[in-house]
């Protein structure tokens, strides 16, 4: 949060709606305050006319958008966890979150068609109070088959998805997406990250790691280094922290720490073999917090930044928002740094030739 920019009394996302298109949001978490779970549905199936609601379930229309997987609740924290001297904090704690759910399988997979249904609700909903001006999508797929990564999606469905993204773009709604967690793949091979209408976010490391193995030639991993897992490519617009730090610890083992997220009680602590994976330790509470890493969690930091940019200038279109992100970015031309462990500990980061800098939230507006 410090790296991207802590919220202030005058820059905190107030008056901006952010739709989280994900596995839902856990509405009972004590560190979140999303718009109420009032599920919308079409008055006549297929009509495109919806009842008035403040949440949507694209997998089971009219049902709750509550999170039974956890991923969407992880995302929600980074955008808008409350500034309440408790738990965690979001980039834009006064932004209003709208839950747009796609049901996840036990393996965390969600259907592209369910995401499309959620986007159609956002498009049809029109003005809300506060209006939805930002959409966060921390998921994606392969445009065509990529060995050991994923199978290509049906082109008809991909084109339908892209059309809905274009619709949102034309409505001046900024769509922020994660670049992907495939370090050997180019963003151009993934959707929605490759599409020019989206704001695509790669992942960096937030803070300096330990280097207990430095004497063996294993260098320290510095802040603003590209994470070992991030997808890169010229379609990336900006980077933001997607992991806390990376240590070279005793025995010369690489250890990767995530950043802390709100989670759903349904999202149980991982097994021992997953502690050094995408998800780490869980801290119990009525809602709970879970350590997680990935470009899924760098994108919502930028969604929070966008909410604050629009709070300061609500009439900006997506091109204007993207321009502001670039103008505010820190260390453009210098970072993300190349990962120094390339070729060891399973790291295979490939630099794309562009150092787009780290996203920064706007400062307090100047009052004349």
Q: If you write DSSP's letter for every residue of 111-155 in order, what string do you get?
A: -HHHHHHHHHHHHHH---SS-EEEEEE---EESS-BTTTBPBPPH
Average pLDDT over residues 143-150: 90
Assess contact for 259 and 292: CB atoms under 8 A: yes
Q: Let me know if residue 292 belongs to a domain.
A: yes
Q: Let me know if residue 239 belongs to a domain.
A: no
pLDDT of residue 222 exceeding 70: yes
pLDDT of residue 292 exceeding 90: no
The range of the structural domain enclosing residue 37 comes to 17-202+258-328
**Residue 306 is part of a domain; what is its CATH number?**
3.40.50.200
DSSP helix/strand/coil, 83: coil
User: Virtual CA dihedral for 277, 278, 282, 288, nearest 10 degrees?
Assistant: -170
pLDDT of residue 43 exceeding 90: yes
The confidence score (pLDDT) of residue 269 equals: 47
The confidence score (pLDDT) of residue 271 equals: 45
Hey, which residues does 135 pair with through a beta bridge? 19, 175
DSSP 3-state percent helix, strand, coil across the chain (nearest 5): 20, 25, 55
Burial of 342 per CB tally in 10 Å (0-12, 13-18, 19+)? middle
Q: What's the pLDDT band for 177 if we cut at 50, 70, 90?
A: very high
Q: Let me know if residue 264 belongs to a domain.
A: yes
Which letter does DSSP use for residue 270 in this model?
A: P
Q: Let me know if residue 113 belongs to a domain.
A: yes
Assess contact for 190 and 140: CB atoms under 8 A: yes
- Could you give the number of structural domains in the chain? 1
Q: Let me know if residue 147 belongs to a domain.
A: yes
Q: What's the pLDDT band for 274 if we cut at 50, 70, 90?
A: very low
pLDDT in tens, 231-248: 998 899 999 999 998 887
Q: Let me know if residue 341 belongs to a domain.
A: no
Q: Which H or E run includes 249? A: strand 245-249
Q: What's the pLDDT band for 289 if we cut at 50, 70, 90?
A: confident
Q: What's the pLDDT band for 138 if we cut at 50, 70, 90?
A: very high
Query: Is residue 133 reached through a cis peptide bond, with omega within 30 degrees of 0 on the bond before it?
Result: no
Rounded distance, CA 123 to CA 171, Å? 8
pLDDT of residue 279 exceeding 60: no
> Range with the lowest mean pLDDT among 93-102, 268-277, 348-357?
268-277
pLDDT of residue 101 exceeding 90: yes
């Amino acid at each position: 949060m410090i790296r991207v920019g802590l919220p202030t009394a005058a820059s905190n996302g107030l008056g901006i709606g952010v739709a989280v298109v994900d596995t839902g949001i856990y509405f009972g978490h004590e560190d979140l305050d999303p718009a109420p779970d009032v599920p919308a549905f079409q008055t006549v199936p297929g009509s495109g006319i919806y009842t008035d609601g403040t949440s949507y379930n694209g997998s089971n229309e009219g049902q709750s958008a509550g999170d039974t997987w956890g991923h969407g609740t992880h995302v929600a924290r980074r955008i808008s966890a409350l500034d309440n001297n408790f738990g965690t904090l979001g980039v834009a704690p006064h932004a209003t979150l709208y839950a747009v759910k796609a049901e996840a399988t036990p393996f965390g997979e969600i259907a592209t068609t369910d995401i499309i249904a959620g986007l159609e609700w956002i498009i049809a909903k029109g003005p809300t109070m506060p209006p939805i001006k930002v959409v966060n999508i921390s998921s994606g797929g392969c445009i065509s088959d990529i060995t050991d990564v994923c199978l290509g999606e049906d082109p008809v469905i991909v084109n339908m998805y892209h059309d809905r993204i274009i619709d949102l773009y034309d409505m001046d709604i900024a769509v922020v997406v994660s670049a992907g967690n495939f370090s050997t793949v180019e963003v151009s091979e993934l959707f929605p990250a490759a599409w020019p209408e989206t704001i695509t976010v790669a992942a960096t490391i937030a803070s300096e790691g330990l280097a207990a193995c430095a004497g063996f030639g294993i260098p320290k991993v510095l802040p603003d280094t590209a994470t070992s897992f991030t997808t890169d490519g010229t379609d990336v617009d900006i980077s933001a922290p997607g992991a806390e730090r990376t240590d070279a610890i005793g025995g010369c083992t690489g250890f990767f720490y995530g950043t802390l997220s709100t989670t759903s009680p349904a999202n149980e602590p991982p097994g021992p073999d997953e502690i050094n994976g995408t998800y780490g330790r869980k801290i119990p509470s009525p809602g709970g917090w879970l350590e997680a890493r990935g470009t899924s969690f760098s994108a919502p930091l930028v969604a929070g930044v966008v909410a604050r940019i629009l709070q300061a200038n609500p009439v900006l279109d997506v091109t204007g928002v993207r321009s502001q992100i670039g103008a505010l970015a820190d260390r453009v031309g210098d970072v993300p740094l190349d990962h120094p462990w390339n070729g060891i500990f399973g790291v295979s980061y490939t630099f794309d030739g562009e150092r787009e800098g780290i996203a920064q939230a706007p400062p307090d507006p100047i009052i004349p």
